[in-house]
């Protein structure tokens, strides 16, 4: 018996949506719309670097929800305040992620508290919540247990979308850019070409963008070309819609939903 197949899809995911990034997020969404109008998955950070959510952020997210975008939880503060343990951990947490891998070293109780607070914020506004994506895709073992116990339907890593609670994986290497310096931008553009080529036969392409990815012309042109090419043979959908399709094809059900708050 053959394995069920998915219709080729592209998911465009916007990271780090917060009060301080809204202007850059608007520029990015305009750049996406210049290619085609399509649904986005918006990764919202309720208290980005400790700042409380502003009315402007909440109104912005409400508008995104109203136009059909998916809202997902992207940590609580997006800030790793713990102490690294050894050189490799320091490299991962202070250099690679620049101190933003919030959920890498949290114990289960602290992770649960932050997740519950995020769920309550979504519930306060009546926003459906299906997915949790850890900042920098760094999710430690205890935090992963907390995510699974909180009733989320999916999480994701750099290379997979993980369905919960069972942990089934949809393989999809994220196509992501780094824009903080000229050499990083050039390396990202070359890396994006390689990832795009490697994922050509994969049913799922994930284009994971950050707010400043529309501000560097070379980077913007790069991902717009990738998106244009993808849309010639793929349909655009949110990550939640993709996981729904996968479950339907495989006869699987999402986890029982928990009440937030």
Indicate which CATH number applies to the domain containing 24. 3.20.20.370
Res 84: pLDDT: 58
Question: Three-class SS of residue 46?
Answer: coil
Is residue 200 assigned to a domain?
Answer: yes
Number of structural domains found in the chain: 1
Per the structure, the complete domain to which residue 150 belongs is given by 9-250
Is residue 21 assigned to a domain?
Answer: yes
Is residue 138 assigned to a domain?
Answer: yes
Is residue 84 assigned to a domain?
Answer: yes
208 class by beta-carbon count within 10 Å (0-12 exposed, 13-18 middle, 19+ buried): buried
Res 59: pLDDT: 98
53, 19 contact by CB (below 8 A): yes
Res 260: pLDDT: 43
Rounded-to-integer distance, Cα 217 and Cα 197, Å: 22
Beta bridge partners of 176: 208
- Tell me the average confidence (pLDDT) per consecutive run of 10 residues in the chain, 261 residues long: 72 97 98 98 95 95 98 90 59 55 90 97 98 94 95 95 93 93 92 93 96 96 97 98 93 63 40
Res 74: pLDDT: 97
Is residue 259 assigned to a domain?
Answer: no
pTM of the model: 0.91
Res 6: pLDDT: 81
Res 261: pLDDT: 40
């Amino acid at each position: 018996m053959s394995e069920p197949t998915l219709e080729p899809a592209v998911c465009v995911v916007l990271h780090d949506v917060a009060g301080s990034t809204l202007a850059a997020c608007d520029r990015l969404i305009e750049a996406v719309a210049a290619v085609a109008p399509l649904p986005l998955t918006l990764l919202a950070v309720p208290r980005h670097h400790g700042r409380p959510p502003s009315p402007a952020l909440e109104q912005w997210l409400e508008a995104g929800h109203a136009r059909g975008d998916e809202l997902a939880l992207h940590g609580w503060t997006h800030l790793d305040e713990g102490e690294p343990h050894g050189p490799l951990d320091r490299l991962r947490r202070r250099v690679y992620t620049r101190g933003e891998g919030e959920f890498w070293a949290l114990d289960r109780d602290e992770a649960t508290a932050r997740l519950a607070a995020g769920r309550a914020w979504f519930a306060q506004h009546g926003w459906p919540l299906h997915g949790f994506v850890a900042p920098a895709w760094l999710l430690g073992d205890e935090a992963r247990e907390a995510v699974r116990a909180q009733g989320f339907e999916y999480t994701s890593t750099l290379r997979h979308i993980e369905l919960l609670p069972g942990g089934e994986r949809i393989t999809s290497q994220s196509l992501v850019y780094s824009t903080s310096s000229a050499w990083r931008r050039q390396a990202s553009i070359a890396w994006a070409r390689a990832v795009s080529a490697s994922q050509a036969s994969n049913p799922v392409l994930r284009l994971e963008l950050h707010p400043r990815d529309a501000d560097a012309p070379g980077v913007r042109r790069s991902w717009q070309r990738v998106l244009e090419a993808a849309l010639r043979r793929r349909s655009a959908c949110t990550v939640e819609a993709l996981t729904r399709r996968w479950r339907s094809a495989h006869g699987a059900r999402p986890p029982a939903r928990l009440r937030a708050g």
